Amino acid sequence: MKRLGVSLDWERSFFTMDECRSKAVTHAFVKLFERGLIYRSKKLVNWSCALKSAISDIEVDKVEIKGRQMIKIPGYDHKIEFGTLTEFVYRIEDSEDVIPVSTTRIETMLGDVAIAVHSSDQRYLSLVGKFAVHPFCHRRLRIIADDSVDPSFGTGAVKITPAHDCVDYEIGIRHKLEMINIFDDEGLIVSGLDFKDEYKCLSGMKRFEARKQITLLLKTSNLFIRSVDHDYVVPFCSRTRDVIEPLLKSQWFVDCAQMARRTSEVVVDGQLKIYPPQYEKIWLQWMNNLQDWCISRQLWWGHRIPAYFVRFNSSDSDKDNSDYWVSGESYEDALLAAQKKFNRPVCEMSIEQDEDVLDTWFSSGLLPLSACRWPDKCEDFDCFFPSTLLETGYDILFFWVARMVMLSLELRDTLPFKEILLHSIVRDSHGRKMSKSLGNIIDPIDVIEGSSLADLQRKLLTYNLDESELLKAKKGQSLDFPSGIPECGSDALRFTLCAYSGSAKDINLDVLRIQGYRFFCNKIWNASRFCLSNFGSNFVPHSLNAANLGPVDKWILSRLSSTELKVNKSFLEYSLSESTSLIHQFWLYDFCDVYIESLKPIFSGSNAEEIEVSRQVMFTCLDNALRLLHPFMPFITEEIYQRLPFNKEHFQKFTSVSVVAYPHELIWYDEELETDFESVMALVNMTRSLKDDYVPTKTKIPVYVCFYSENFLNKFSIFTNLIETLVNTSSIKFTMDSTTVPKGGVVSTFRDICDIHIYVSDSIDIASEVKKNTTKREKTFEGIVKIKAAMESQDYFSKVPVKVQEANSEKLASLECELSRLDKILESLKIGG
């Protein structure tokens, strides 16, 4: 973060499990427990068999599997098949009938307790209320009707495993079905199932080994129908790449219903703003459908849950019974809570703290409070809570941001912040999620310092990839970075990320774009060096006097002022991409390409008064432009700022540009001047283009501009020196008398303002140019005839869509303008020839 120029109070850094933060976590848990908002219950959770722990939703990667494929799973020597839908039949009790079912997880059939069909599915209505027989267990499966079943999916009949599927769990609750857990914490088939003797061999088997074995047993029992390719989503643990198993576990939960309602209300009422605003709708959707939050984890690292199980000397207590649990901020507090709850003397009971730890998002959700040393009363809390703005990624809007709001409102009756700004998620240049196995992870340090392809590929060896993944990753890197990653520097990387932040959509990060902003840094450095070298040793900056300024000086100051206004506005709207675009435009196209170029003849001349005015304007622009740019490029702007020749009498020099006031004044803005200057630059660009078409590069020739009115002549004449400099001509003459323009040139019409003549008879083959432009004229004329013929057809206005008519009219006008231009060129060439 320091390498990126992040400006923080590093003395306030803390460890998330230090005494202060642990105290806040414990205090919050106890308060929520006492209010009945934290409770213990047996529910389905995301279980990682590799970690032997429940994990949060954000730690689950939902990967779409398209058709049959083999995937490496931790704990298995061989790859496991996914992407198939297996169909098999259950036999109906006391009948020859069967009912076909389909599943993507055949191993879970050991936990089946029912078969569900849609109430309107005529194929199976006669079977509703009957029982099927489990082939491997001493178990009857009730056939039930439930309208959540999709009759068009698979066979239309669904096996119900309430203890291992979220949808089945809800069906199980509705129909009061038995919940049979078939896996232990490591993903092995439990030994306590009601297996028939010949199938007890399945006990202790790994879940995906059981998948293969059960398929074989179904085939030998003539119950197997088929296995077909099927697209579906498989949940993977983001840390271990193990397949997540929904397991029924006794865990600690936060009752979110009441908190979710209030968290919705603060957004609806406008107390909490979210940017971009489209995420407010997503926020409300989440809050309206929020399930209770599982906060316990079976890990050895984390904040230990301050809940204590109460045992009585006279009887055994049931740990799954939430009535036997108390909470306290210490062992002694918990013992007193147990004594009070059960009204029994301490000598008759003992308490044992839960070994589980809290979900990291619980402590993270308390960060606005714990960072300010809550629950202690201190100056930090009064000063920094609540804050104003939270900036974070949209992918954790629910997992972190919403929980901070929920917990802060519940525990302090106060929003933790007033606004939320969401940034994009960085992907590679192809839009792919960055992944070690793809070899497309971009290390910011590699972008800052640069890295050869060989060094990038050496890093892959630290990613613990198998041989095929390593080869794939190396191939990906070779295609994306054949010459490695160029050195771009911190400023260019910062500027790029801000420039990408136009919306909260994913960023396809292109290193070439970062390199482009590195070249922009070079442009800034060279422009600043030009300024510093032309200030001279005796330069003293002072306030500008409008009476001394030339038209180009006034224009650049107007552009500076309007840029300052728009940048400040974009900051208020949190539109950093707009800010970067405006600043980039000013530095590159206004200051460097126009103003500095206009100064070169002045500094080469001997007009001392003109030189002094140019220096003062140049200083004003450089000082303000550096301050505008500093939040995005802190390193280069600080370096240049320290070299500026400040004068204590008129300009205070600060220890750092970061503490100088951000520019915001509008005193030089001149809308009419900017409008006129836009026409001037358009004239310059057309003249350059005409010159490029007919004159060898760097060749200087005379240019004549014949205006149609005195008003235009006067407006453009004040910029004569600038136009001559930017067009790079030997001379330029403005006139209203076309007879003063020499023959032997080419002409082009600029808007309805003037004709531009360039003298080229000595530079081109006139006969060749006449032929070329005659051919262009013929094609242009053919286009005009074709469009006019279409427009003159009988049903044109009644049958041709309005948009097509408008497009044709625009194209016709453009072609007629081009025809007029070519006629003038041909006329001037023929006269010159």
Q: What's the confidence (pLDDT) of residue 130?
A: 95
Q: What is the pLDDT confidence band of residue 817, given thresholds at 50, 70 and 90?
A: confident
Termini Cα distance of the chain: 68
According to DSSP, residue 698 is labeled T
Q: What's residue 567's pLDDT?
A: 96
pLDDT surpasses 80 at 620: yes
Q: What is the pLDDT of residues 657-673, one digit of tens each?
A: 998 999 987 789 999 99
Residue 517 lies in a domain: no
User: Is the domain of 91 the same as that of 238?
Assistant: yes
Q: What is the pTM of this model?
A: 0.80
Angle at 417 between CA 414 and CA 419, to 5 degrees: 135
pLDDT of 503:
63
Q: What is the pLDDT of residues 331-361, one digit of tens each?
A: 999 999 999 999 988 888 899 999 999 999 9
Give the residue with greater pLDDT, 283 vs 692: 283
pLDDT at 163 over 80: yes
pLDDT digits (tens, 9 = 90+) for 484-534: 999 999 999 999 999 988 665 788 888 999 999 999 999 999 999 999 999
137: its two tokens: 């267990």
Contacts for 109 with CB less than 8 Å, ≥ 6 apart: 88, 103, 159, 161, 214
3-state percent breakdown (helix, strand, coil) of the chain, nearest 5: 45, 20, 35
CATH code (residue 105): 3.90.740.10
Does residue 716 fall inside a structural domain? Answer: yes
Q: Residue 520 falls within a domain, yes or no?
A: no
Same domain, 61 and 181: yes
Residue 361 CA to residue 403 CA, distance in Å, equals 8
Lowest mean pLDDT among 130-144, 401-415, 786-800: 786-800
Residues 198, 100 share a domain? yes
Q: 172, 162 in Cβ contact below 8 A? A: yes
pLDDT bucket at 38, cuts 50 / 70 / 90 = very high
247-299 pLDDT tens trace: 999 999 999 999 999 999 999 999 999 999 999 999 999 999 888 999 999 98
Instruction: Look at residues 230, 247, 264 and tell me which one is the last residue of a structural domain.
Output: 247
In this prediction, what percent of the chain has a pLDDT beyond 70? 97
Q: What is the pLDDT of residues 527-556, one digit of tens each?
A: 999 999 999 888 989 889 999 999 999 999
Number of domains in the chain: 6
Q: What are phi and psi of 559, to 5 degrees?
A: -65, -40
pLDDT tier for residue 761 given thresholds of 50, 70 and 90: low
Residues 415 and 277 in one domain: yes
> Residues 48, 51, 57, 58: is their CA dihedral positive or negative?
negative
Same-domain pairing of 72 and 160: yes
CATH number of the domain where residue 658 is located: 1.10.730.10
> pLDDT at position 640, please?
96
Examine residue 4 and state whether it is found in any structural domain, yes or no: no
Residue 370's pLDDT band (boundaries 50, 70, 90)?
very high
Per-residue confidence (pLDDT) for residue 223, from 0 to 100: 96
The residues pairing with 707 across neighbouring beta strands, listed in sequence order, are 754
Is the same domain home to 343 and 364?
yes
Which residue segment(s) compose the domain that 731 sits in?
A: 673-759
Q: Are residues 367 and 448 in the same domain?
A: no
Closest by CA position to 618, among listed 636, 639, 644: 644
Can you give the CATH number for the domain in which 321 is found?
3.40.50.620
What type of residue sits at position 475? K
d(CA 16, CA 821): 72
Where does 481-607 have alpha helices with state H?
489-499, 511-535, 551-572, 576-584, 597-604
Report whether pLDDT(825) > 90. no
Residue 347 CB coordination number (10 Å): 7
Q: Which of 194, 215, 247 corresponds to the end of one domain?
A: 247
Three-state DSSP state, 311: strand
Tell me if 534 is assigned to some domain: no
In eight-state DSSP terms, residue 390 is E
Strand runs labelled E in 694-776: 702-707, 731-735, 745-750, 754-759
Residues 740 and 591 in one domain: no
Minimal CA–CA distance to 762: which of 738, 743, 749? 743
Residues 599 and 701 in one domain: no
Phi-psi region of 489 (alpha: psi -120 to 50; beta: other; left: phi over 0): left
**Residues 461 and 553 reside in one and the same domain:** no
pLDDT in tens, 704-740: 999 999 999 999 999 999 999 999 988 899 999 988 8
Whether 556 and 591 have beta carbons less than 8 Å apart is answered as yes
On the question of a cis peptide bond just before residue 368, with omega within 30 degrees of 0, the verdict is no
Q: Which residue has the tokens 């219903």?
A: 257
Q: Minimum mean pLDDT among 213-222, 592-601, 646-655: which range?
A: 646-655
Q: Is residue 51 part of a domain?
A: no
Distant-in-sequence, close-in-space partners of 497: CB < 8 Å, separation ≥ 6:
426, 507
The domain that holds 721 is classified in CATH as: 3.30.2320
Token pair for 386: 């609540």
DSSP letter assigned to residue 356: -
Domain boundary among 195, 230, 247: 247
In a domain, 528, yes or no: no
pLDDT tens string 143-159: 999 999 999 988 999 99
Question: Does residue 299 belong to any structural domain of this protein?
Answer: yes
Between CA 790 and CA 307 the distance in angstroms is 83
**308 beta partners:** 326, 353
Spatial separation of the C-alpha atoms in residues 586 and 593, rounded to whole Å? 10
C-alpha 329: how far from chain center? 40
pLDDT band of 314, cuts 50, 70, 90: low
Q: Are residues 780 and 730 in the same domain?
A: no
Residues 84 and 191 reside in one and the same domain: yes
Over residues 47-71, the mean pLDDT reads 89
